[in-house]
């Protein structure tokens, strides 16, 4: 198939950036979106031009490294998929496709389609863990966890930290990302001792990074490759309210 | 707390709830129109005598107004702060953007809220400050008459009905958001909350709309 | 061996420094005899950790918790993205929660046998001992392992073993374990104990007076090159499957760190031990950039077949039963479709090579569930394999409920790696190698669900002790940034980058990497012969020349230049490929993932040659153009008796 691509090009953080148009022939419908970009880059190299920089790694939808805005949709038109798992058979011959980086102030563009998601790491540094030292763990089966609770925790824990939630949010909010980690640890007995400390710290950092607030639009869940639900946001809000009211006795 | 994004949302939820409560009381009063002129005027007057003799004449009403004004101010302040944060969070927009979720109510919260604010001013100018252009000729002191005369002006009716549509949309998203923001929404009660907020978003505008419609159709005169 | 004598030089034997005494007590005894660093003194030691996967993140965490200063480096934008994240199946531990006869001794035995008697017994025994602690550790971190209704941990049987000892978190065990390690690492970063450097790539090892003293790192965003000096260096940089270009590894996985260490004198052990996974999705065309693995559990219910007549292009439903060749069931009636990975893989290759392959590119075999669906009902199949079927559907566009899946083997894991002694220290003092990057525990073949176990055992429970022991014993002058070894290493890296940029030829790094993969897969893949390996040697030499004459890398080294990073990795993989082929050529026996066609039984089984090859082959760099030196570590099997496997 033949494609007309409009790709965001930006040489550095300081560069203002611009769109450039490319035509690409002989794209296999069986190739993935990133393999299509590989093809574009090989073509650019042949013309001795700088290839398009984009982040990617595992190419099986689990590392969270890739993430592109494709025609205004985070990770493209197929729900529940990352860009690396999006295949070109979902496009038509002759399609015009606009490719942009995540546009969130807290994810500055480094080059072309590559952004800096260090803000996500810093949010987790404010409590996205359980404090204990290696070696002190009790026997694993001494902590009993009802199956449905661990399943809910797992639903939240599947977050891959790709940033699509913030990218698709009209407010540029990282609420779903933050809520997912709070939800993961908050549903487990191991996470209880730091539950309220965690929510205060992580929410504070989320705001400090310059992410917008949540207005309950739900776009984050719609684009989330792991389809993490809005319930975790509700849970985080409740924990936060309890924490600030000092009602943490549970 | 109020400094955080969630804190601001909690403020919006709390103040929003106060206004929902006010709207229900207001709607109840409006519906008294159907009980006749005397009953309605009696009700209007009783608002001023509410709480007497413990509370001075008209003081309860003043207190209610203060609470409402403060709530509205806090609601608007939080909304503006969140809007500004959202703008700063995405200084450069997408060339192409597809809203991945949310309905018309969701995306009109900010403009709808602003429109409602303007309508409140108009509404006050009409029925509280009694600006003559809006009220038309009515018998002074007769609230029932002021209402009926006012709603014989089609401009008032149309604006009123439009505002009610905005109220419905605002309640639809805001109502659901209320439960979400306070963390009361769970997987189990998602449907009941949807139903409740949907019902509220329809019932309140309809409850208000029947009055001008009744006047316009001559049912109340 | 002698006819290949010109290909390598013989060197002195390697000593694994295994403690004396009964295998059950070796680790305890060693721990007791270790020197300790007093808590207050630990902050005076700086440990450099390269890699942030299960092994790297866990060792950085554990050392940070103890009070050492740690600097950790990864090339991704966050430590959470390391390729450990992609492991699906699970993690083994000898908890015996199922009361089905598991024990430390049985896990030990299974691992030695699974490794086809080419690993060091003592290391494996320790691994089995530690396995239970790992589960405790991960649960405490909040890893949401699957549970029973009673709230207890669930187990499943995995990879053909006879006990249920595998702990899992849906199909995302690797992700959850990595996130657990990453969370603990995050805590140490927040506490200031670990300094994390993302988008940073190690490009050289700094060795002063024969001791590892630091690394040269390139900041991938700014291009800045700098030396990071430390008292010990840990490489936890994963395996080298990408030498085959198409593998199930992430695109970024590379061998540069271990290869650069090899070129600075670290011994590289058993590079020819590579593992092939039989149930991957076949390539769909020349655009293919990587392969996707599907859980082996699919073989429990799927039947593998190809049309009996080569070149048969009929759609699968049009091929009548007599024309179908269920090659595994016919050749191995007792094990059928559940024969071990390597046997299933080789047989698939054989039928494809004979022209019976299926699909548009005739590069796969069918994995057919129609019989299972008739027997068990679609609902059962959906429940067992639903997510795998969805994944297959999404990647291929074909509905596996309606048409048989197509599968083909792909390279998945590399057992070889830098040589380490019992304390996970390489032959260069101060250089420790952890996880898939070392050679230590899996012999010639790795058992399913053991990679995660090894990475975490190394990182949480072995290296933190042995590195402390090393640090407590060192007495050496501080290295300064202006030492000739430091400036020299930086200059070497700078020259190499300039060289890559300076060629300005006509070939892209990607096309050269593809070519490398083709040579490796065809000549040194699932089945190897002296002839194919010699061919590979000639082809790789030509490819290396082509690379250094014809490469084109645009841009400069002073900013983010993904092509430059990639080209450097490909250059190292080509050299590693040459060593891999040499190792495969020298090992004239079949064992585990290494199959030499010359060494097979009458019914096509791998035939080991214990008399001549019961050793670890450790290769040492002898300089550009010189034949490497082969140092052997003899393997003794005292706790487990050598035996041959048979599946027919």
DSSP string, C569-603: HHHHHHHHHHHHHHHHHH--S-BTTB-BTTSB-TT
Picking from C136, C109, C102, C150, the residue whose alpha carbon sits closest to that of residue C23 is: C109
Q: Which residues of B touch A230 (CB under 8 A)?
A: 180, 185
How far is residue B27 from each of residues A10, B124, B165, measured CA to CA in Å? 56, 16, 15
Q: Which residues of chain C have pLDDT under 70?
A: 1-5, 645-648
CB-based contact B94 A103, cutoff 8 Å: yes
As assigned by CATH, the class of the A117-245 domain is mainly alpha
Q: How far from each other are the two terminal CA atoms of chain A, in whole angstroms?
A: 59
Q: Give the integer Cα–Cα distance in Å for C54 and C175.
A: 10
User: Is residue B221 in some structural domain?
Assistant: no
Q: Are strands A3-9 and A96-100 parallel, antiparallel or unpaired?
A: parallel
Q: What angle separates helix A231-245 from helix B154-181, to the nearest 10 degrees?
A: 80
Q: Give the integer Cα–Cα distance in Å for C608 and C591.
A: 5
Instruction: Note if C641 is an active site residue.
Output: no
Distant-in-sequence, close-in-space partners of C433: CB < 8 Å, separation ≥ 6: C234, C235, C236, C258, C261, C266, C417, C418, C419, C420, C424, C425, C426
Q: Which residues of A touch B89 (CB under 8 A)?
A: 104-106, 171-173, 210-212
Q: Which residues of A touch C290 (CB under 8 A)?
A: 59-60
Give the pLDDT score at C4.
Answer: 58
Picking from A161, A167, A204, A205, the residue whose alpha carbon sits closest to that of residue A180 is: A161
Give the pLDDT score at B218.
Answer: 85
Q: How far from each other are the two terminal CA atoms of chain B, in whole angstroms?
A: 51
Using CA coordinates, name the residue in chain A closest to B92: A103
Burial C225-239 (b: 16+ CB within 10 A, else e): bebbbbbbbbbbbbb
Task: Measure CB to CB from residue C139 to each of A116, A140, A161 and give the nearest one.
Answer: A140
CB-based contact A173 B9, cutoff 8 Å: no
Cα torsion angle, C156, C159, C162, C166, sign: negative
Two structure tokens written together for C642: 């050598």
Task: Measure CB to CB from residue A188 to each of C142, C461, C559 and give the nearest one.
Answer: C142
CA of C599 vs chain A CAs: smallest distance (Å): 36
Catalytic residue among C106, C341, C587, C596: C341
CATH number for the domain including B180? 1.20.1300.10
CB A140 within 8 A of CB C153: yes
Mutate one of C61, C64, C139, C249 to test the A interface: name it (highest A CB count within 10 A). C139
How far is residue C160 from each of residues C297, C340, C449, measured CA to CA in Å? 9, 8, 11
The residue extents of the domains of chain C are: 277-412, 482-615
Q: Which residues of A touch C81 (CB under 8 A)?
A: 57-58, 63-65, 161
CB-based contact B6 A71, cutoff 8 Å: no
Q: Which residues of A touch B95 (CB under 8 A)?
A: 6, 8, 19, 98, 100
**Looking up tokens 């913030």, which residue turns up?**
A166
Using CA coordinates, name the residue in chain A closest to C464: A134
CB-based contact A71 B187, cutoff 8 Å: no
Give the pLDDT score at C158.
Answer: 81
Give the pLDDT score at B108.
Answer: 87
Burial A80-114 (b: 16+ CB within 10 A, else e): ebbbbbbbbeebeeeeebbbbbbbbbbbebbbbbb
**Looking up tokens 């070519």, which residue turns up?**
C515
Give the architecture-level CATH label for domain C482-615.
Up-down Bundle (1.20)
Q: Please give the DSSP secondary-structure letter assigned to residue C468.
A: H
CA of C287 vs chain A CAs: smallest distance (Å): 6
Measured in degrees and rounded to the nearest 5, phi and psi for residue C194 equal -115, 130
DSSP string, A76-96: -SSTT--GGG-BGGGS-TT-E
**What 3-state DSSP class applies to B115?**
helix
Between chain A and chain C, how many beta carbons pairs sit less than 8 Å apart?
A: 211
DSSP string, C163-215: S--EE-STT-HHHHHHHHHHHHHHHHHHTTSEEEE-SEEEEEEEEETTEEEEE
On whether any CB of chain C is under 8 Å from the CB of A194, the answer is no
**Touch of B by C (3+ CB pairs closer than 8 Å):** no
Residue C349: half-sphere exposure toward Cβ, Cα within 13 Å: 21
CB-based contact C141 A130, cutoff 8 Å: yes
Give the pLDDT score at C384.
Answer: 85
CA of B20 vs chain A CAs: smallest distance (Å): 18
Cα torsion angle, C48, C51, C57, C62, sign: negative
CB C599 within 8 A of CB C609: yes
Picking from C232, C209, C126, C212, the residue whose alpha carbon sits closest to that of residue C472 is: C232
From first to last of the 221 residues of chain B, give the pLDDT tens digit: 778 999 999 999 999 999 999 999 999 999 999 999 999 999 988 888 888 888 888 899 999 999 999 999 999 999 999 999 999 999 999 999 998 887 788 888 999 999 999 999 999 999 889 888 888 888 888 999 999 999 989 999 999 999 999 999 999 999 999 999 999 999 899 999 999 999 999 999 999 999 999 998 888 87
On whether any CB of chain A is under 8 Å from the CB of B143, the answer is no
Q: Give the integer Cα–Cα distance in Å for C241 and C293.
A: 13
Two structure tokens written together for A176: 């779903």
CB C187 within 8 A of CB C194: no
CB-based contact C144 A36, cutoff 8 Å: no
Give the pLDDT score at B54.
Answer: 86
CB C119 within 8 A of CB C422: no
On whether any CB of chain B is under 8 Å from the CB of A155, the answer is no
Q: Give the integer Cα–Cα distance in Å for C239 and C225.
A: 24
Q: What angle separates helix C530-550 from helix C509-524, to the nearest 10 degrees?
A: 170
CA of B206 vs chain A CAs: smallest distance (Å): 25
CB-based contact A219 B4, cutoff 8 Å: no
Q: Which residues of C touch A163 (CB under 8 A)?
A: none
The H-or-E segment that residue C227 falls in is strand C225-229
**What 3-state DSSP class applies to C555?**
coil
Segment 216-235 of chain A within 8 Å of chain C by CB? none
Give the pLDDT score at A183.
Answer: 98
Q: Give the integer Cα–Cα distance in Å for C456 and C178.
A: 9
How far is residue C141 from each of residues A138, A180, C404, C547, measured CA to CA in Å? 11, 16, 41, 46
CATH of domain A3-111: 3.10.20.30
Against chain C, the chains showing at least 3 CB pairs within 8 Å are A
Give the pLDDT score at C2.
Answer: 44
Cis peptide before A33 (omega within 30 of 0): no
**Looking up tokens 């925790």, which residue turns up?**
A153
The mean pLDDT value for A101-124 works out to 98
Task: Measure CB to CB from residue A207 to each of B4, B91, B180 and give the nearest one.
Answer: B4
Give the pLDDT score at A249.
Answer: 67
Segment 31-70 of chain C within 8 Å of chain A by CB? 58, 61-62, 65
CB C608 within 8 A of CB C644: yes
CA of A117 vs chain B CAs: smallest distance (Å): 14
The number of domains in chain B is 1
Distance of CA C463 to the CA centre of its chain: 19
The residue extents of the domains of chain A are: 3-111, 117-245
**What 3-state DSSP class applies to B100?**
coil
pTM of the full predicted structure? 0.96
User: Is residue B194 in some structural domain?
Assistant: yes
- Topology (CATH level 3) of domain C277-412: Flavocytochrome C3; Chain A, domain 1 (3.90.700)
CA of A244 vs chain C CAs: smallest distance (Å): 23
On whether any CB of chain B is under 8 Å from the CB of A208, the answer is no
Picking from A246, A149, A148, A215, the residue whose alpha carbon sits closest to that of residue A188 is: A149
Picking from A166, A73, A53, A152, the residue whose alpha carbon sits closest to that of residue A120 is: A166
Give the pLDDT score at C1.
Answer: 44
Alpha-carbon dihedral C523, C539, C10, C431, rounded to 10 degrees: -90
On whether any CB of chain B is under 8 Å from the CB of A202, the answer is no
Q: Give the integer Cα–Cα distance in Å for B181 and B14.
A: 10
């Amino acid at each position: 198939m033949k494609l007309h691509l409009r790709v965001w090009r930006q040489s550095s953080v300081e560069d203002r950036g611009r769109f450039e148009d490319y035509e690409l022939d002989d794209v296999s419908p069986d190739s993935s979106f990133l393999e299509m970009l590989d093809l574009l880059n090989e073509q650019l190299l042949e013309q001795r031009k700088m290839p398009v920089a984009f982040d990617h790694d595992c190419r099986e939808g689990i590392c969270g490294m890739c993430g592109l805005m494709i025609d205004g949709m985070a990770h493209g038109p197929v729900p529940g998929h990352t860009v690396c798992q999006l295949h070109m058979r979902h496009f038509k011959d002759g399609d015009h496709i606009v490719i942009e980086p995540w546009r969130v102030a807290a994810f500055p563009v480094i080059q072309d389609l590559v952004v800096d998601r260090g803000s996500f790491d810093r949010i987790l540094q404010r409590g996205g863990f359980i404090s204990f030292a290696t070696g002190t763990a009790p026997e694993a089966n001494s902590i009993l966890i009802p199956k449905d609770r661990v399943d809910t925790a797992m639903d939240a824990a599947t977050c891959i930290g790709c940033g699509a939630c913030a990218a698709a949010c009209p407010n540029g909010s990282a609420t779903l990302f933050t809520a997912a980690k709070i939800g993961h640890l908050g549903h487990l007995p191991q996470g209880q001792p730091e539950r309220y400390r965690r929510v205060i710290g992580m929410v504070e950092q989320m705001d400090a990074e310059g992410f917008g607030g949540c207005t309950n639009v739900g776009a984050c869940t719609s684009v989330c490759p792991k389809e993490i639900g809005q319930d975790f946001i509700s849970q985080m809000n409740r924990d936060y309210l309890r924490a600030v009211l000092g009602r943490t006795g549970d | 707390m109020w400094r955080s994004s969630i804190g601001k949302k909690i403020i919006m939820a709390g103040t929003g709830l106060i206004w929902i409560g006010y709207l229900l009381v207001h709607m109840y009063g409006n519906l008294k129109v159907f009980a006749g002129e005397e009953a309605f005027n009696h009700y209007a007057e009783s608002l001023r005598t509410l709480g007497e003799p413990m509370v001075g004449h008209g003081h309860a009403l003043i207190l209610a107004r203060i609470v409402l004004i403060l709530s509205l101010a806090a609601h608007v302040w939080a909304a503006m702060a969140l809007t500004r944060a959202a703008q700063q969070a995405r200084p450069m927009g997408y060339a192409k953007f597809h809203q991945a979720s949310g309905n018309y109510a969701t995306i009109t919260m900010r403009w709808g809220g602003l429109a409602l604010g303007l309508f409140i001013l108009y509404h006050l100018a009409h029925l509280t400050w009694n600006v003559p252009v809006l009220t038309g000729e009515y018998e002074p002191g007769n609230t029932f008459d002021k209402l009926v005369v006012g709603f014989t002006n089609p401009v008032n009716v149309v604006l009123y009905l439009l505002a009610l549509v905005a109220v419905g949309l605002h309640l639809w998203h805001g109502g659901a958001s209320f439960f979400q923001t306070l963390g009361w929404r769970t997987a189990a009660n998602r449907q009941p909350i949807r139903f409740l907020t949907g019902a509220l978003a329809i019932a309140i505008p309809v409850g208000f709309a029947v009055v001008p419609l009744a006047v316009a159709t001559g049912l109340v005169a | 061996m002698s006819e290949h004598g010109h290909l390598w030089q013989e060197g002195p034997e390697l000593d694994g420094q295994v403690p004396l005494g009964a295998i059950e007590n070796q680790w305890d005894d060693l721990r007791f005899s270790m020197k300790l660093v007093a808590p207050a003194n630990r902050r005076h030691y700086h440990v450099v950790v390269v890699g942030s996967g299960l092994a790297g993140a866990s060792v950085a965490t554990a050392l940070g918790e103890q009070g050492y200063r740690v600097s950790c480096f990864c090339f991704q934008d966050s430590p959470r993205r390391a390729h450990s994240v992609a492991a699906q199946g699970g993690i083994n531990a000898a908890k015996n929660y199922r009361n089905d006869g598991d024990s430390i001794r049985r896990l030990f035995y299974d691992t030695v046998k699974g490794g086809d008697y080419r690993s060091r017994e003592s290391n494996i025994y320790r691994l089995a001992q530690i396995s239970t602690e790992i589960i405790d550790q991960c649960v405490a971190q909040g890893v949401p392992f699957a549970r029973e209704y009673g709230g207890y941990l669930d187990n499943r049987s995995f990879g053909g073993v006879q006990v249920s000892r595998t702990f899992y978190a849906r199909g995302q065990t690797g992700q959850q374990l990595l996130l657990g390690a990453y969370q603990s690492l995050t805590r140490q970063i927040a506490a200031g104990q670990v300094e994390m450097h993302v988008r940073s790539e190690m490009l050289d090892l700094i060795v002063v007076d024969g001791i590892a003293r630091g690394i040269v790192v390139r900041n991938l965003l700014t291009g800045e090159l700098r030396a990071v000096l430390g008292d010990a260096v840990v490489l936890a940089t994963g395996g080298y499957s990408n030498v085959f270009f198409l593998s199930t590894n992430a695109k970024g996985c590379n061998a540069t760190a271990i290869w650069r260490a090899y070129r600075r004198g670290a011994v590289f052990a058993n590079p020819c031990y590579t593992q092939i996974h039989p149930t991957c999705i076949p390539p769909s065309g020349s655009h293919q950039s990587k392969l996707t693995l599907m859980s082996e559990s699919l073989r429990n219910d799927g039947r593998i077949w190809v049309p009996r007549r080569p070149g048969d292009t009929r759609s699968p439903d049009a091929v009548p039963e007599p024309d179908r060749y269920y090659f595994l069931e016919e050749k191995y009636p007792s094990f059928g479709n559940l024969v071990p990975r390597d046997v299933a893989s080789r047989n698939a290759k054989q039928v494809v090579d004979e022209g019976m392959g299926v699909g548009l590119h005739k590069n796969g075999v069918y994995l057919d569930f129609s019989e299972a669906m008739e027997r068990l009902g679609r609902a059962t199949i959906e429940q067992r394999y639903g997510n795998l079927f969805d994944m297959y559907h999404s990647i291929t566009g074909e509905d596996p409920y309606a048409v048989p899946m197509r599968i083909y083997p792909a390279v998945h894991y590399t057992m070889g790696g830098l040589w380490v002694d019992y304390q996970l220290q390489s032959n260069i003092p101060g250089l420790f190698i952890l996880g898939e990057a070392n050679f230590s525990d899996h012999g010639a073949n790795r058992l399913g669900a053991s990679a995660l176990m090894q990475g975490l055992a190394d990182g949480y429970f072995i290296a933190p002790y042995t590195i402390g022991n090393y640090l407590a014993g060192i007495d050496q002058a501080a290295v300064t940034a202006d030492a000739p070894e430091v400036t020299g290493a930086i200059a070497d890296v700078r020259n190499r980058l300039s060289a890559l940029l300076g060629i300005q030829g006509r070939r892209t790094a990607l096309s050269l990497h593809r070519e490398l993969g083709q040579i490796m897969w065809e000549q040194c893949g699932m089945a190897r012969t002296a002839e194919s390996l010699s061919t590979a040697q000639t082809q790789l030499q030509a490819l290396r020349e082509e690379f250094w004459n014809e490469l084109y890398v645009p841009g400069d080294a002073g900013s983010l230049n993904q092509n430059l990073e990639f080209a450097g990795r490909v250059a190292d993989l080509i050299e590693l490929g040459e060593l891999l082929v040499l190792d495969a050529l020298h090992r004239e026996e079949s064992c585990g993932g290494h199959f030499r066609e010359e060494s097979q039984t009458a019914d096509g089984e791998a035939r080991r040659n214990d008399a001549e090859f019961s050793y670890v082959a450790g290769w040492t760099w002898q300089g550009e153009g010189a034949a490497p030196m082969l140092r052997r570590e003899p393997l003794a099997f005292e706790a487990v008796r050598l035996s041959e496997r048979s599946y027919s």
